[in-house]
């Protein structure tokens, strides 16, 4: 594959966790990837060190992508779960921050794709099982991920005729720093106890590994899912089926 023939993807939250695993898979499959994160890593062809809630971050990513070739895929993966407090104890500013990092960012990335991705392109939004059910202490996060799913479904309808598909992946608990933070929010004294409680509560009795989540994301990003549009694919060991 020549440099210019490589399909181009923008992946947000690409420095670690699920996003880093997506970048690894795409690069191995011959894609040119523009990574966005607050921190820089070496893995992608180009990198934007920036905040995904800001429009200029996406503008920079778009410019870098244009230098690499035709934009085909945007993976809106950057997200954060917030502090972990009951709604009654949550400040509106904290609510706003969680909405911004999860929803505003996904809006900006999705809009960029609907404006600029080539036909045959795809958007994959990383939602969460918290986008399909309530999670006490994570009200803003659940609200935000439900919103990401609404955005996904609507964008799927609007993108369909220009042949840009839009789907979401809803990971269950995944072995990244997010789950460590969640465990601390549930039980500050003994996060290990919270962790093992969550592990036991999962039908498959374990968390996902990042490469199990990124496999679903790259599948939805590529041609093997050509007729899949507007779907929310759970990768959660059966959590939301039970």
Partner 1 sequence: MEGNLFDLEGRVVVVTGASSGLGAQFARRLAGEGARVVLAARRRDRIEALAEELPDALAVECDVTSEDDCARLTQAALDRYGAIDVLVNNAGVSKPARVEDETVADFRQVVEVNLVATYSLSRRIGTLMAERGQGSIVNIASVVGMVGLGRMPQASYAASKAGVVNLTRELAAQWARSGVRVNAIAPGFFPSEMTEGLFGDPKGEAWVAKLTPMGRGGRDGELDGALLYLASDASSYVTGVVLPVDGGWTAV
| Closest distance of CB 155 from partner 1, Å | 9
111: contact with ligand NAD by CB under 6 A: no
Residues that bind partner 1 (CB under 8 A): 152-153, 156-157, 160-161, 163, 165, 172, 202-205, 208-209, 211-213, 215-216, 219, 223-231, 233-238, 240-242
Q: State the binding string over 71-100 for ligand NAD (x if CB under 6 A, else -).
A: ------xxxx--------------------
Q: Under a CB-based contact definition with an 8 Å cutoff, are residues 220 and 124 in contact?
A: yes
Binding segment for ligand NAD (CB under 6 A), chosen from 152-160, 170-178, 190-198, 222-230, is 170-178
Binder of residue 37, out of partner 1, ligand NAD, none (CB less than 5 to 8 A by kind): ligand NAD
The catalytic residue among 58, 141, 186, 207 is 141
Q: Under a CB-based contact definition with an 8 Å cutoff, are residues 57 and 40 in contact?
A: no
> Which residues, at least 6 apart from 95, have a Cβ–Cβ distance to it below 8 Å?
82, 139, 140, 143
Binder of residue 217, out of partner 1, ligand NAD, none (CB less than 5 to 8 A by kind): none
13: contact with ligand NAD by CB under 6 A: yes
Cα separation, 62 vs 46, in Å, equals 11
235: contact with ligand NAD by CB under 6 A: no
* Cross-strand partners of 50: none
User: Helices 177-186 and 191-201, interaxial angle, to 10°?
Assistant: 110
* CA 4 to chain CA centroid, nearest Å: 26
24: contact with ligand NAD by CB under 6 A: no
- End-to-end, the C-alpha distance of the chain in Å comes to 44
Q: Which is nearer to ligand NAD, 29 or 38 (CB)?
A: 38
Half-sphere exposure of 14 (CA within 13 A, CB side): 31
* CA 142 to chain CA centroid, nearest Å: 14
Show the tokens assigned to 8.
Answer: 């181009």
52: contact with ligand NAD by CB under 6 A: yes
Q: Which is nearer to ligand NAD, 161 or 177 (CB)?
A: 177
Binding ligand NAD by CB under 6 A: which of 10, 11, 15, 195?
A: 15
DSSP 85: B
| Segment holding 144, helix H or strand E | helix 139-159
Half-sphere exposure of 200 (CA within 13 A, CB side): 6
- 141 tagged catalytic: yes
- Residues in contact with ligand NAD by CB under 6 A are 13, 15-19, 36-39, 51-53, 77-80, 101, 126, 128, 171, 173-174, 176-179
């Amino acid at each position: 594959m020549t440099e210019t023939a490589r399909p181009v993807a923008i992946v947000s939250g690409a420095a670690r966790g699920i996003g880093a695993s997506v970048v690894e898979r795409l690069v191995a499959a011959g894609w040119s990837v523009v990574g966005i994160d607050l921190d820089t890593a070496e893995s992608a062809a180009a990198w934007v060190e920036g905040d995904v809630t800001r429009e200029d971050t996406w503008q920079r990513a778009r410019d870098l992508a244009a230098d690499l070739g035709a934009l085909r895929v945007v993976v809106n993966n950057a997200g954060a779960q917030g502090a972990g407090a009951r709604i009654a104890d949550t400040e509106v500013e904290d609510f706003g921050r969680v909405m911004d990092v999860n929803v505003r960012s996904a809006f900006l990335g999705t809009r960029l794709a609907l404006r600029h991705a080539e036909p045959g392109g795809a958007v994959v939004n990383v939602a969460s099982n918290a986008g399909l059910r309530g999670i006490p202490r994570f009200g803003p996060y659940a609200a935000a991920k439900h919103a990401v799913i609404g955005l996904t479904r609507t964008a799927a309808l609007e993108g369909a005729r220009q042949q840009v598909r839009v789907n979401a992946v809803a990971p269950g608990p995944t072995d990244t720093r997010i789950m460590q933070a969640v465990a601390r929010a549930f039980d500050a004294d003994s996060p290990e106890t919270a962790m093992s409680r969550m592990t036991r509560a999962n039908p498959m009795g374990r968390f996902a590994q990042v490469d199990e989540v990124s496999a679903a994301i790259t599948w939805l990003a590529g041609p093997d899912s050509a007729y899949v549009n507007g779907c929310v694919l759970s990768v959660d060991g059966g959590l939301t089926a039970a």
